[in-house]
Structure 1
Amino acid sequence: MTNSLTVCSSHLITLPSAPFGPVREAIADARAAVNEFDPELVVFFGTDHRRAFRAVVPTFAVVLSATAQGDVAGPSGAYDVPSALGRALVADLVAGEFDIATAYEAALDHAFGHTARDLLGEIDAKPVLPIFINCASPPHASFRRAASLGRRVGEFFADKRVLYVGSGGLAHDLPGFREPETGEVLTEEERQAWIKSVNERARVEGTIRELVRTWDEAFLAGIGGTSWDWLDEIGVDLVERGGNGAAECLTWTAAWAAGGQALKTLAHEFDTNGRAVAISDK
């Protein structure tokens, strides 16, 4: 049995209108694997929807104290963050020439909360060290840079029994993030209207669905191995091929590299949004 387990998942919104298909079922399998593995530490690569980081958006940040906002029917409360360990990680990353930010405290949104709850049961069930990766406010890091960060993090925690989590994606388009320089987020009513229009266009044209499937399959094939050869190609024309939400897969890429193992896809589904769950062998 190895010292690490990696689980990557779309953060599934727990609203009555949310889909409950194969990916939702696979979350239960991933959670059972997490329970069996019983990690001493969870290193969680997650992102944000311009709720936690607004005035200043770092490319990467280690969070030393975190609460959950409870947005979109997500959990609320405090994470059990090992801040001393986080500070030591920051020092190591800086020594490794990563310009990492230190977030002394952050109110994290559902990009962390949903998946933490889905995999752990409660967000404070295990010590969780959140590592923020900017995915919603371009310019963001390349997939290769996210992998490099993940590899360094994995090296730092090589002597611990760690669950690496990546939460986000897959290919989808985030309403309100088309003009990032405004920093504005749509209201929920505007967001639902936008989603309805996208779904309608997809039913008529079929083009968005095909883009989602093609990009998703290429990405899942990449993390399904250990080669880094695919990292440069997957980010080319990202918005056109996978939507602006596809950048959330930077969190998966970092977690994949941290664990250093190929991931197997437990479930993948798509309509106008790609969703999947992938896990490494223990």
Structure 2
Amino acid sequence: MAKIVGIMTTSHVPALGKAIAKNLQSDPYWKPFFDGFPPIHEWLEKVKPDVVVSCYNDHGLNFFLDKLPTFAIGTAPEYVSEDEGWGIPPQPSFPGAEDLSWHLRDNLVRDEFDVVSCQEMLVDHSFTLPMALLWPHQKWPVKSIPVAINTTLFPMPSPRRCFKLGEAIGRAIASYPEDLKVLVIGSGGLSHQLEGQRAGHINKPFDERFMDSMLNDPQWATQFSDVDLVEQVGNEGVELVNWLAARATVPGRVKLVHASYHIPISNTAAATMLMEPI
């Protein structure tokens, strides 16, 4: 049976892509964030996952306000990145895990999640940057399944609903008959707001409580509504529901392999966690 071997959560600040392209990982501004990844690279080399399921949020590359699903899943043979205007070079295409993605899609629909199936799908920095952070050579040794969550247009799915989505994804993975090692990614956050009167808003106490909850109380953030979450972590900080969905794929306890938290990276509380099921 397929098995989740790890959960990796990380910020996806677009400027990170530009820093990677310019080889600025050792620059004093960027180094504290990039220094969080060598332990994760060592873990990847040891565990060697076969498939990545990435919970992320699209920023207008694949969906826009005129057509924005609450949840969407990629069922394509490959996923392509394009120029987003951030100075991030397009990355090599990502091979899809078609059989597993259709299995996930079917099981999610039967679990009463009305997901949009995407047999063609562009992926933006929310999907591509975690992959580049995990595999800096950008030669992907895994197949991928993108799961897009709306964090842009109100009403957004509540943290509780996103947690339930993650639980359903976890059940679907566990029921897949092929022996595959699956890494689940939650992409985004943590607290930040990029516009308006609260531009630059960072809530470090909330971020630290949320990161602790990933280990010790994974449903803690489900007490908040989408509006409550904006108040706590900012308009863009609501991306942490991607972390919540990823964490929910493992029903039991997890062990922390590595974590880092750095303020700020481009007005964002930039954080990373790697967890293993116990």
Does the CA-based 8 Å contact 2:218-2:244 persist in structure 1?
Answer: no
Decide whether aligned partners of structure 1 residues 123 and 69 sit closer, same or farther in structure 2, where only a CA change above 3 A counts: farther
Match of 1:117 in 2: 132
Q: Does 1:232 align with 2:248?
A: no
Q: How far has the Cα of 1:227 moved from its partner?
A: 4.4
Structure 1 residues 227 and 51 mapped into 2: Cα distance closer, same or farther (>3 Å)? closer
Q: Which residue of 2 aligns with 1:60?
A: 71
- Taking a change above 3 Å as real, the CA distance of residues 256 and 269 of structure 1, as seen in their structure-2 partners, is same
Structure 1 unaligned regions, length at least 5? 179-193, 200-207
> CA 1:49–1:227 in 2, change beyond 3 Å: closer, same or farther?
closer
2:82 counterpart of 1:69: yes
Q: Is this contact kept in 1: 2:156–2:226, CA < 8 A?
A: no
Distance 1:148 1:213 in 2: 26
Is residue 2:277 matched to residue 1:276? no
Q: How far apart are 1:164 and its partner, in Å?
A: 0.6
Aligned: 1:6 with 2:7? yes
Is residue 218–residue 248 contact of structure 2 (8 Å, CA) maintained in 1? no
Confirm or deny that 1:173 pairs with 2:193.
yes
Rounded Cα–Cα distance in structure 2 between residues aligned with 1:74 and 1:136: 24
Q: 1:74 to 1:37 in 2, by over 3 A?
A: farther
For 2:163 and 2:55, the matched residues in 1 are separated by: 11
Percent identity over the alignment?
25
Tell me the alpha carbon deviations over residues 146-166 of structure 1, each in whole angstroms, 9 at most, x when there is no partner.
111111111111263110111
Which is further off, 6-15 or 226-235?
226-235
Superposed CA deviations along residues 59-84 of structure 1, whole A, max 9, x for unmatched, are 11111222112433154232101223
Q: Which residue of 1 aligns with 2:169?
A: 153
SS state at 1:6 partner: strand
Whether the 8 Å CA contact 1:168–1:251 is kept in 2: the answer is yes
Q: In the TM superposition, what are the counterparts of 1:1-282 in structure 2 within 5 Å?
A: 3-12=4-13, 13-16=16-19, 19-54=29-64, 55-65=66-76, 66-71=79-84, 72=86, 73-121=88-136, 122=138, 124-158=140-174, 160-175=180-195, 198=199, 208-209=201-202, 212-233=203-224, 235=226, 237-260=228-251, 261-262=253-254, 264=256, 266-271=259-264, 272-281=267-276
**1:108 CA displacement:** 0.9
- 1:151 and 1:254 in contact (8 A); partners too: yes
Deviation track 1:110-161 (CA, whole Å, cap 9, x = no partner) reads: 1111111111342633101111111122221111111111111111112631
RMSD across aligned positions (CA): 2.5
Mean alpha-carbon deviation: is it higher for 17-26 or for 166-175?
A: 17-26
Q: Give deviations 1:19-73, integer Å, cap 9, x for gaps.
A: 4143321123223212221112111111111221013111111112221124331
CA contact (8 A) 1:5 1:37 kept: no
TM-score by length of 1: 0.80
Query: Structure 1 residues 240 and 226 mapped into 2: Cα distance closer, same or farther (>3 Å)?
Result: closer
Structure with greater proportional helix content: 1
Give the unaligned 5+ runs of structure 2.
Answer: none
Q: What SS does the corresponding residue of 2:152 show, helix, strand or coil?
A: coil
- With normalisation by structure 2, the TM-score equals 0.81
Sort the Cα spacing of 1:168 and 1:74 in 2 relative to 1 into closer, same or farther, 3 A: farther
Q: Helix, strand or coil for the counterpart of 1:254? A: helix
